[in-house]
Amino acid sequence: MSQTMQQLLTCAGGVVAGLALAAPVLSRQQRALTRARWEANHDDITGLPNRRLFHTRLRAALADNTPVGVVLLDLNNFKTVNDTLTHEVGNDLLDQVGRRLSSLPTPVRIAARLSGDEFALLVTGTREDTAAAAEAAWKAIATGTILVVNADLPVTASVGYTHTHHPTVSTRQLLTQADSAMYEAKRIDGGVREYLPHRTATVRSRDRQRH
């Protein structure tokens, strides 16, 4: 074997060895990047999509000219759970509620935790599909008790929903409408309410400017 060939083989071996050493580092960096991206779009307690990802998916559905519905849910008396049974139990309850909502079938496209004890569903389909999804979500939470850390809790939620087939409606408008209906449900009976302009337009909606 010529001296030149030996030098080439030696160089090639060095390159291969260098790549072998670098591979684990690159793999760890890739995993860290993937994890960071996931954490940026998901809730750390429930593992559900967070507000950022929910807005992204909702904007995409509107841009695609897809008829969509937004369902908002707020757990009734959740503060009492935190105050009397500790935040650990409260977090466990949020996780269990998230599991029930994420198991809802289509036309629910995404279940998300927005903040605190507030969850949201993105529904594609007709107004009737959105209404059915809102009822299904309420029943998923209220049917039976929810087993959490050292407790078996009866839980209900106030649910509000809205629907549109107009791509020019903004995500903020839809969330504000659903929030108004949810607030009305909480104020009256903690059940399910649809956003209807003649009925819920005058109901005070919680400030969403921070969203």
CATH 3.30.70.270 fits 51-200, yes or no: yes
pLDDT tens, residue by residue, 163-198: 999 888 999 999 999 999 999 999 998 999 999 987
pTM: 0.81
Residue 121 corresponds to which tokens in the numbers above? Answer: 């569903």
Check pLDDT > 60 for residue 95: yes
Strand 157-164 versus strand 192-194 pairing type = parallel
* Predicted local confidence at residue 151, as pLDDT: 81
* Predicted local confidence at residue 210, as pLDDT: 38
Long-range contacts of 105-110 (CB under 8 A, 24+ apart): 107/133, 108/133, 108/136, 108/137, 109/57, 109/61, 110/49, 110/53, 110/54, 110/57
Question: 59 and 175 in contact (C-beta within 8 Å)?
Answer: no
pLDDT tens, residue by residue, 112-161: 999 999 999 999 999 999 999 999 999 999 999 999 887 899 999 999 99
Interior/surface letters 67-96, b for 16+ CB within 10 angstroms, e for the rest: bbbbbbbbbbebeebbeebeeebbbbbbbb
Q: How far is CA 9 from CA 16, 19, 22, 107, in A?
A: 10, 15, 20, 60
